[in-house]
Structure 1
Amino acid sequence: MTSTYPATAMLQVLPAPGPRPVPAGNRELVEALRRGPFHTALHAAIRASGLSLEAIQRRLRNDGHQISLASLSYWQRGRSRPERPSSLAAVGSLERILRLPAGTLITLLGPVRPRGRWANHVPGSVSLEALGHSDRSLRVVSTKIDPDANQRLESLSHHQDLRLDATGTGYRLTTRRVVRARADGADRMTVMMVADCADAPPFTITAGLNCRLGRVVHDEEEDVTAAELIFHRPLRAGESFLAEYEVEVSDLPEQVTRFDVGFRQPTKDCVLQTVFHASAIPIRCYPLWQPQNSQPNPLDHELRIETSGSAHVAFVDLPAGRYGLCWEWN
């Protein structure tokens, strides 16, 4: 199993969730909210509400948001879009004022566009290709999700706990990440996942503390899935944030033999733990580190499997690359 975070995780294939519920009875609005872009959906929602821009502005002001009439007009015409933290916060109030399902408009905005020096390369980072993703998959993913979204975040801490079932063919993976915004407005992180065996069944991803599941894109040909985890609020530059999520899969056609995560940029600390079922303990377990996907693993010392059936590896001040554990069943 591998994961990548632009920091990449190889996990099993995540099916795209169904469309978000939208108001019925107005075909134009329904289609705009499903397909976007943001300004088209906003324009349709304003028309359907029957409210004037002045009335919307008053209601936003009552909610504590100072948005000018010119900004509202530009937003619905596509001449500009909400990007500052204060503007993104106002979009949540707009959804309520226009009687839309929570998250409908903010999801259509997509990742915040980087500005200034943060639009460029992050020191010490590597490409997604270096972590094993093909140009083709990146093109498929990029149609709906920005694979560089995590470059707007500094990775401070990454903890993952993998719990295998009694057969070694199913697991629950719990992830806790602490990040810090490199610029104002960062409001999501991206996880890219690759099925690590042929004919792998779909897995279920559940957003946990401080985030929700956004858009999901699946490249069926290469079994690559990218998913957005959207924070409950946009961050300010320098602000840290903790988010959690879980992934579950069962009935894989073969036993899982590795668990790794790929980071595009340096990370402060990473702790990875595998907990084996009491009836399925491997004979040995090793740490894994690959500076790039094509390079061999230079770590060959054996890890202790505790009496609890767990083994872990901890890294501090780690450069970009792949890190994890691998084990032998026989």
Structure 2
Amino acid sequence: MDRTTRQAAVPTPLGRRRFEEVLRDGITARGLALSRVREHLIARGQQIGVSTLSYWQNGERQPTTRSLPVIEALEQVLELSPGTLTSLVPTEADREPRRGKLAGITSYADTVDELIREMGSTSMGLAANLSTIEGVSIGRERSLETKHVHQVVRASEDVDRQVITYQGELGCDVTLLALLPVSGCRIGRVRHHEPTALVVAELLFDRTVHRHESHVFQYVIKDDNKVPTHEHYRMHLEGGGIHVVELTFHPEALPVRVEEFHRRRLEDPDARRRPVPIYHGNRVHLVTEPSTPGISGLSWEYD
């Protein structure tokens, strides 16, 4: 197959074909395995993983403008005209939020997507969770007062921010949910959604975290609503990493029993539930090492 035929197999009318479609057709036309494509890119001085190439061609992730040198080299490897792929790389404003994983575990994924779209953020999915340690305080009114989060992530692409979500109790005043940076980050754009009590926010890292590097950051969520709560949970978008949560109850608002629960989706019945002992009179904890996406959490009851 000559060069002209290969190019004809990959037309690039702007606005009608997506990056992943053109890339997929180009790879097929060249007859190269992704591992061979990667070798050709390395020979041109561009480092990229086979997994990233796979994500790109399947549309599971979108390349950023920071990837343009790699994509220019990719055009050479696939013997495409200059601009065939680079012209299809979405701008920061055009890129779509990375949904799918969130949609698999909660019904309000579309709301989160819309809030992220309003912010124009494109950082979802660029950093994998290695560990998350949460310290949660339940106050005298039986409401969540503060949540201190200590998180470690590893970047799959260069990234300088992380999008987080928090849901208060339904009916609460979302303007009373405050996000405070502690270390390794500062607060960027924030969006609220009153009907679902959702807050979606950007945490801006204090540096650019390059691919394969790790980053440690801490932040606090403060809730002044004083709305009683009876459970705390964490959504795991993928397997891997470790999650630890420790709940501390006010001495005048101790539960009579606490149980851990695990669900496939937030709205599903419990897949597993069992009692959890209360230590030192007012503390409980849960350690989760998720192997698949899902929900893990603690629930409690009062007299």
TM-score class normalised by the smaller sequence? 0.5 to 0.7
Instruction: Tell me by how many angstroms 1:112 deviates.
Output: 12
Match of 1:178 among 133, 139, 152: 152
Quick one: which amino acid aligns to residue 238 of structure 2?
Q
Distance 2:193 2:289 in 1: 33
Partner of 2:107: 132
Distance 1:129 1:196 in 2: 22
Partner of 2:220: 246
Question: What do residues 237-288 of structure 1 show as CA deviations (whole Å, max 9, x unaligned)?
Answer: 11011111001113424x2111111121223111111111111110000112
User: Is 1:319 paired with 2:276?
Assistant: no
Q: Which structure's residues are more often strand, by fraction?
A: 2
Quick one: which amino acid aligns to residue 101 of structure 2?
V
Partner of 1:78: none
Aligned runs of 1:134-213 on 2, under 5 Å? 134-146=109-121, 149-183=123-157, 185-200=158-173, 202-213=176-187
**Could you tell me the percent identity over the aligned residues?**
18
Instruction: Tell me by how many angstroms 1:236 deviates.
Output: 1.1
Conserved 8 A contact 1:145-1:215: no
Distance 1:248 1:127 in 2: 24
Conserved 8 A contact 2:236-2:290: no
Question: What do residues 141-166 of structure 1 show as CA deviations (whole Å, max 9, x unaligned)?
Answer: 312143x6231111110111101122
Instruction: Tell me by how many angstroms 1:129 deviates.
Output: 5.5
Instruction: Tell me by how many angstroms 1:308 deviates.
Output: 3.9
What TM-score results when the alignment is normalised by the length of structure 1? 0.59
Distance 1:318 1:112 in 2: 33
Partner of 1:305: 278
Instruction: Tell me by how many angstroms 1:167 deviates.
Output: 2.1
Partner of 2:261: 288
Conserved 8 A contact 2:102-2:237: yes
Partner of 1:100: none
Partner of 1:67: none
User: Is 1:270 paired with 2:243?
Assistant: yes
Which one scores higher on RCO, CA 8 angstroms, separation ≥ 6? Answer: 1
Count of residues paired in the alignment:
216
Instruction: Tell me by how many angstroms 1:134 deviates.
Output: 4.6
Instruction: Tell me by how many angstroms 1:317 deviates.
Output: 4.1
| Structure 1 moving runs of 4+ over 4 Å | 109-114
Question: What do residues 8-43 of structure 1 show as CA deviations (whole Å, max 9, x unaligned)?
Answer: xxxxxxxxxxxxxxxxxxxxxxxxxxxxxxxxxxxx
CA distance 1:199–1:288, change in 2 (3 Å): same
Partner of 2:211: 237
Conserved 8 A contact 1:213-1:230: yes
Distance 2:194 2:231 in 1: 22
Distance 1:177 1:136 in 2: 24
Question: What do residues 160-198 of structure 1 show as CA deviations (whole Å, max 9, x unaligned)?
Answer: 110112221241110011100001x21111111223221
- Aligned to 2:209, what secondary structure does the other structure show? coil
Instruction: Tell me by how many angstroms 1:135 deviates.
Output: 2.4
Conserved 8 A contact 2:170-2:196: no
CA distance 1:145–1:133, change in 2 (3 Å): farther
Conserved 8 A contact 1:155-1:266: no
Q: CA RMSD in A?
A: 2.8
Unaligned runs of 5+ in 1: 1-80, 85-108
Instruction: Tell me by how many angstroms 1:113 deviates.
Output: 6.8
Distance 2:153 2:251 in 1: 34
Unaligned runs of 5+ in 2: 1-63, 68-90
